[in-house]
């Protein structure tokens, strides 16, 4: 067997690690430069809601359509599901918003009436209307990627603000503010 010389790198190869490292630094610098865009922003902000009609998801609340959203009053559109744990965590905050006079409407994603009824009994029902979105059609149409998500809609049915994830206790005031702004 032949004797081998280990590692006989040419001169330029010795600079390769530095070059690779330079590329890494450039990459993460690029990533750090745009921290504001790290939140997924809905491309729908400032645009009207799509035309839609959703059947009522539970017996004691009417369903939801575009016409209900463009009735002149600002609303908070909450996309939720009974199978979603953060939605349960969010429930007290939605109740608070309701108590402060915010009109909260819901879209239940891929839900069963029985599950939904149980969820609302357990965690309270802050919604004035609940539409059932069985195929996530509306969810995709408004640029939402998961549950829960909330949208502030002005009186003309235009999306003013998108909130990804559950509304936490310290964010209630901010949401109230956003809805008030949408009403002006």
Partner 1 sequence: MIATLGLAALWLAAALAMLQLVGGALALRANGNPLVAALRPVAMIQGMLASLAMLCLIVLFCQTDLSVALVATNSHSAKPLLYKFAGSWGNHEGSMLLWVAVMAAAGGVVAWVERRLPERTILATLGAQAFVSLGFYAFLLFASNPFTRLDPAAPEGQGLNPLLQDPGLAFHPPTLYIGYVGLSVAFSFAVGALLTREVSPTFARAMRPWVLGAWIFLTLGILFGSYWAYYELGWGGWWFWDPVENASLMPWLAATALLHSVSVLAARNALRAWTVMLGVVAFSMSMVGTFLVRSGILVSVHAFAVDPTRGQFILALLAINIGAALAVFGLRAASVTEGERFALTSREGALVFNNVMLTGALGIVLIGTLYPLIAETVGARVSVGPPYFNPATAIFVLPMLVVMAFGPLLRWRRDSMKRISPLLLVPATLALCGLAFGIWRGIGVLPLLGLALACGLVVASVMPLWGRKLRTVKLPLWGMVTAHLGVALALGGMASDSAFTKEKLVAARPGETIVVGPWSLQFAKVQPIAGPNWTAIEATLEAGYDGGKPITLKPQARAFWSPPQGTNESALATRWNGQLYAVLGEQAEDGRWQLRLWWKPFITLIWLGGMLVALGGLLALFGRVASDLRRLIAVDKIAYRRRRQGP
110 sits in the region (left: phi over 0; alpha: psi -120 to 50; else beta) called left
- Assigned token pair, 143: 């640029």
Q: How far is CA 177 from CA 76, 85, 133, in A?
A: 12, 26, 28
Interacting residue ranges for partner 1, rule: CB under 8 A: 1-9, 11, 14-15, 17-18, 21-22, 24-25, 27-32, 35, 38-40, 85, 88-89, 117-119, 121-122, 145-146, 164-165, 169
| Minimum CB distance to partner 1, residue 149 (Å) | 10
CB-based contact 116:88 (threshold 8 Å): no
CA gap 35, 5 in Å, rounded? 48
| Minimum CB distance to partner 1, residue 89 (Å) | 8
| Minimum CB distance to partner 1, residue 28 (Å) | 6
**In terms of CB distance, is 116 or 182 closer to partner 1?**
116
| Minimum CB distance to partner 1, residue 42 (Å) | 12
Q: Which uninterrupted H or E stretch holds 141?
A: helix 137-141
**In terms of CB distance, is 41 or 73 closer to partner 1?**
41
**In terms of CB distance, is 71 or 173 closer to partner 1?**
173
The candidate with the shortest Cα–Cα distance to 147, out of 109, 103, 96, is 109
**In terms of CB distance, is 31 or 50 closer to partner 1?**
31
């Amino acid at each position: 067997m032949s004797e081998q010389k280990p590692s006989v790198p040419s001169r330029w190869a010795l600079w390769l690690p530095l070059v690779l490292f330079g590329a890494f630094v450039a990459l993460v610098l690029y990533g750090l430069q745009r921290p504001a865009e790290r939140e997924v922003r809905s491309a729908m902000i400032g645009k009207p809601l799509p035309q839609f009609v959703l059947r009522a998801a539970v017996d004691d609340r009417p369903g939801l359509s575009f016409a209900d959203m463009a009735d002149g009053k600002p609303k908070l559109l909450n996309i939720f599901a009974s199978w979603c744990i953060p939605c349960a965590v969010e429930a007290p905050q939605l109740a608070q918003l309701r108590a402060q006079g915010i009109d909260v409407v819901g879209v239940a994603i891929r839900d069963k009436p029985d599950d939904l009824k149980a969820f609302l009994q357990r965690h309270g029902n802050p919604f004035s209307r609940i539409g059932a979105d069985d195929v996530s059609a509306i969810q995709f149409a408004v640029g939402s990627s998961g549950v829960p998500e909330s949208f502030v809609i002005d009186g003309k049915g235009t999306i003013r603000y998108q909130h990804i994830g559950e509304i936490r206790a310290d964010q209630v005031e901010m949401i109230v503010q956003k809805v008030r702004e949408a009403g002006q």
